[in-house]
Amino acid sequence: MRIIKANEFKLAREVEYGTPEQNKTVSDILERVRTEGDAAVLRFTESFDKVKLEAGQLRVTEQEITAAYDRVEPRFIEALRRAAANIRSFHEKQKRNSWMDVQPDGTTLGQIIRPLRRVGLYVPGGKAAYPSSVLMNAIPAQVAGVPEIVMVTPASTGGKEGIDPYILVAAAEAGIREMYRVGGAQAVAALAYGTETIPPVDKIVGPGNIYVALAKRYVYGVVDIDSIAGPSEILVLADDSADPSYIAADLLSQAEHDEMASAILVTTSRPLAEAVLAEVETQLATLPRKEIAEKSIRERGAILLADSEVEAVATSNRLAPEHLELLVREPFGWLGRIENAGAIFLGPYSSEPVGDYFAGPNHILPTNGTARFSSPLSVDDFLKKSSVIHYSKEALLRDGEDIMTLAKHEGLDAHARAIQVRLEKEGERT
C-alpha cells in the first residue's frame, strides 16, 4: 500500500468471461440437465460434489430444517432475527404500487406491477456459505410478494453431515421452505429448465464460483439473472477529522474478503494518509485472515492524496465504488456530490459491516465500477411491470389519422389498416 496522487490512480477492471474450457464444460452441463433432467443432476452431483444421491433425496426435508435449529447457538439465531427484521423493514419501503391514469375522454393508461412467480436462490458451498447473503437475497423477493422462493446449495456445503445448519436456519428465517441439495452449473440448469424434481423458476439470484457465473450468463433470457458480482471494494473518503484506526479497520474488513478486493482511502490530508498507513500495518499483524488481507492491501489497496475536496469527490465518482464511507466532518453535506456508489456510509459509526450485516439496506451491491449504472439488489428486482392501454372510441377517432401517418411512414401498412378498419366501421356506426 502506497500513498499516491489521486489523479494518477487507475483501478484494473476485468469482466470475467472464463476460459474456453470452462465455457465448454458449462454448456455441456447445461445441455445434459436440460435434456436428461434429474439423472444428469445426480450424475454431476456425484462427480463434482462426491455425494451420491437419489432423486428423492434432492429436496431438504422439514426434519432437517428443524434439526438445524438445534445445531445453531441461540445467540446467533437472535442476532440473525434482528438483522432479518431490519432488512425486511428497509425493503418494505421500496414497495411500489400499480397506477392508472384515467383521462376525461375515457382513455386509461397505466402500469401494473406484480411479483415474479418463482425465484431460485443459489447459495455457494464451503466457506462462502454466508447466512447474511441468504437473508439479503431472499428477503427482497419475499417483500416483493414472490410466492415461491426456492434455495439450492451444494450437497457438500456442510461437509459429510449435510447442508450447513446456519444456511438452513437463515433460509427458514427468510421464509424459504423449498430447498434442494444441488450446486454448480447443474443447479443453475435445473432452476432454469426444470427437472422432474425441481420445477423451473423465472429468475436466479445469488453468488457462485466461475462455473455458476458462466451458467447464469448462458441461461439469461430463458430466465432472468442478477448481476454477476466482481471482487468487493471499499473507498473511504476522509478528512482530518477521521480516526485513522477506524479507517484502517474498515479498509482491512474489505481486504480480508478476497485477494482481489480493493481497499482505497482518498483524502486531502497527508498526516491522515500517513497515520492510516501505519495503522493498517499494525492491525494487519494480528488478523486471522492476514494472508488474504495482506495480498489484497499490497496489490490492490491504495491511499490517494487529492489536492482538494473537489478532486477527492471526482476521484470517488470516477472509481464508482461498491462501498463508499464518508468519514468527514459533515458527511450529509457531501451526499449531493456523490454520483456513483453502491452504498454510502456516513460518519464514524457507520462502519461498513453495519451495512453488511445489520442496518437493513442490501449488501448485494454493484461491483467493478458498475455503480455508474447499476443499483443495490432491491424489491424492484423481483417485480415486473405491464403497461395498460385502454383507448376510447372518441380518442381513437381523434388520434387515428396521426397514428396512420406514423405507421405508413415506417412502411407498416397493416398497422395503419388496423386503425383504418376501425375508423371506417365506427364512422359508419356514428
Catalogue the active-site residues. Answer: 322-323
If the CB atoms of residues 46 and 101 are measured against a second copy, the closer one turns out to be: 101
Supply the minimum distance, in Å, between the C-beta of residue 265 and a second copy.
14
Supply the minimum distance, in Å, between the C-beta of residue 54 and a second copy.
30
296 in a labelled binding site: no
323 in a labelled binding site: yes
If the CB atoms of residues 7 and 405 are measured against a second copy, the closer one turns out to be: 405
Supply the minimum distance, in Å, between the C-beta of residue 45 and a second copy.
25
420 in a labelled binding site: no
If the CB atoms of residues 57 and 245 are measured against a second copy, the closer one turns out to be: 245
Supply the minimum distance, in Å, between the C-beta of residue 56 and a second copy.
28
Phi, psi values for residue 358, rounded to 5°: -140, -40
209 in a labelled binding site: yes
CA distance 113 to 383: 6
Supply the minimum distance, in Å, between the C-beta of residue 168 and a second copy.
14
If the CB atoms of residues 156 and 370 are measured against a second copy, the closer one turns out to be: 370
Cell numbers found for residue 95: 414497495
Taking the CA atoms of 407, 409, 410 and 414 in sequence, report the sign of the dihedral they define. positive
Phi, psi values for residue 184, rounded to 5°: 70, -165
If the CB atoms of residues 176 and 223 are measured against a second copy, the closer one turns out to be: 223
70 in a labelled binding site: no
340 in a labelled binding site: no
Supply the minimum distance, in Å, between the C-beta of residue 114 and a second copy.
7
Are residues 53 and 159 in contact, defined by beta-carbon separation less than 8 angstroms? no
Phi, psi values for residue 274, rounded to 5°: -70, -35
If the CB atoms of residues 5 and 81 are measured against a second copy, the closer one turns out to be: 81
409 in a labelled binding site: no
Residues at the annotated binding site for NAD(+)?
122, 186, 209
Residues at the annotated binding site for Zn(2+)?
254, 257, 356, 415
Residues at the annotated binding site for substrate?
232, 254, 257, 323, 356, 410, 415
Residues at the annotated binding site?
122, 186, 209, 232, 254, 257, 323, 356, 410, 415
